[in-house]
Structure 1
């Protein structure tokens, strides 16, 4: 199933502060879109609006359209909790439930939704762990705490937890920034595999990573302190990195600022 995500005239606020202005872009199904740009330019903020995590902050709100397969995620009567199941999220630091078993970590979302069938939970746990390239490493210790895994394994456990509920879209907020190079490579390989099934949006500070893993790159920038972040340019990753249309994109990518 193809899952198109369309963002149109998106403006993001924290109370009176206009954090990000006028973002419009389309995210193709079964592809990886990378958000890059200097710190504070709003890329993680935009990511958090795509599954309604932004509004968890008191006073935070958005205007504009975030559309998934023809449904406005901010439309009247749309349940934010359901949105967060359909649009899964993996955070910067691995955040498994440390005292919960590896198996229970993976199926936490299903249990929350009321699934009690042990066989079904076991099947989903195995499928998700295989999907996250973690099954072979943990299949003999599914009843041990998730907090006992290495950092890279914990991040793959969080990815397994996200895909266990069968989302359409996976959001990843700098998923490798707390990991060593070998674990980072494992996550990058995993992203390449996951995009055959999911629409993926990743925020990364690492431009080489964006160039390696993404099909489309969106460059965000900030005009000044206290000014809203904005989308400068979006396009095929190979074009953004080799032949960007905007001078500030070229300056950022060539390391002249940021």
Structure 2
């Protein structure tokens, strides 16, 4: 079930260093929100804070609220492992588990959650996830072969299948196409468009055209200045952000004057 995310007054720290300052935004369910901005402005840091992966880094912490359908993900009684199963992550470089087959890569999250189930049930989940990731027809005859034997684009779709196998509410993607060729990139973009029927998707991208193609909403992040924290400059409907942004820095970035 796709869910709404509300972020309020979020500050993200690495030790004493404030990396991202005072972000507030709402992310609608069953939509794609793109985070754009120059390198080092906190986009990926912000993305990782949405499923509490940021705090896996020593001395990293957040202040403020991340609410998913009204539940505060950082409340003291919330289990961060449960958060990460409900809010899946796809990384910049495809990272299938190297010792596992294609089948076991997809099933890994389900097994990790210690759910006992019949083989036939697991088979159904693996097939459904690979179909959702538009990969089934390409791999159905070699499910027992290593996931690392696939092409880069196929590996990334395998990682998406692995992420959606556990039926998350939200899917986070950190530059999922940056290591891929144009044909693989188009397949991932088409897949993102299909997946938003079932998921809330947040994607970090350096590719302006990609943000314009796949997202419904675009958020522009920028640095306050050299050595200053990143901040959210503006967020809005993607067509509006790209045609008539409210902020001059957004316009300068989109038109290629900096970044």
Q: Secondary structure at the match of 2:9?
A: strand
Aligned to 1:90: 90
In the TM superposition, residue 224 of structure 1 has moved relative to its aligned partner by 2.1
Distance 2:159 2:42 in 1: 24
List aligned pairs for 1:40-119, cutoff 5 A: 40-116=40-116, 117-119=118-120
In the TM superposition, residue 119 of structure 1 has moved relative to its aligned partner by 1.4
Q: Secondary structure at the match of 2:92?
A: coil
In the TM superposition, residue 115 of structure 1 has moved relative to its aligned partner by 2.6
Aligned to 2:248: 247
Q: 2:7 touches 2:25 (CA, 8 Å); kept in 1?
A: yes
The answer to whether 1:21 aligns with 2:21 is: yes
When normalised by structure 1's length, the TM-score is 0.99
Distance 1:15 1:56 in 2: 13
List aligned pairs for 1:114-153, cutoff 5 A: 114-116=114-116, 117-153=118-154
Aligned to 2:216: 215
Q: 2:2 touches 2:170 (CA, 8 Å); kept in 1?
A: no
Distance 1:60 1:91 in 2: 19
Mind listing any 5+ residue stretches in structure 2 that lack a counterpart? none
Per-residue displacement from partner, 1:200-253 (whole Å, max 9, x unpaired)?
Answer: 000000000000000000000012222100000000000000000000000000
Distance 2:23 2:112 in 1: 34
When normalised by structure 2's length, the TM-score is 0.98
Per-residue displacement from partner, 1:86-119 (whole Å, max 9, x unpaired)?
Answer: 0000000000012200000001011111134211
Q: 1:125 touches 1:164 (CA, 8 Å); kept in 2?
A: yes
In the TM superposition, residue 2 of structure 1 has moved relative to its aligned partner by 4.5
Aligned to 1:179: 180
Distance 1:123 1:24 in 2: 40
Mind listing any 5+ residue stretches in structure 1 that lack a counterpart? none
Per-residue displacement from partner, 1:130-168 (whole Å, max 9, x unpaired)?
Answer: 000000000000000101000000000000000000000
How many residues end up aligned between the 2 structures? Answer: 258
In the TM superposition, residue 171 of structure 1 has moved relative to its aligned partner by 0.1
Q: 1:96 touches 1:157 (CA, 8 Å); kept in 2?
A: yes
Distance 2:101 2:247 in 1: 49
Per-residue displacement from partner, 1:48-98 (whole Å, max 9, x unpaired)?
Answer: 000000000000000000000110000111000000000000000000012
Aligned to 1:7: 7
Distance 1:78 1:48 in 2: 17
Segments ≥4 residues shifted beyond 3 Å: none
Aligned to 1:201: 202
Distance 2:121 2:84 in 1: 22
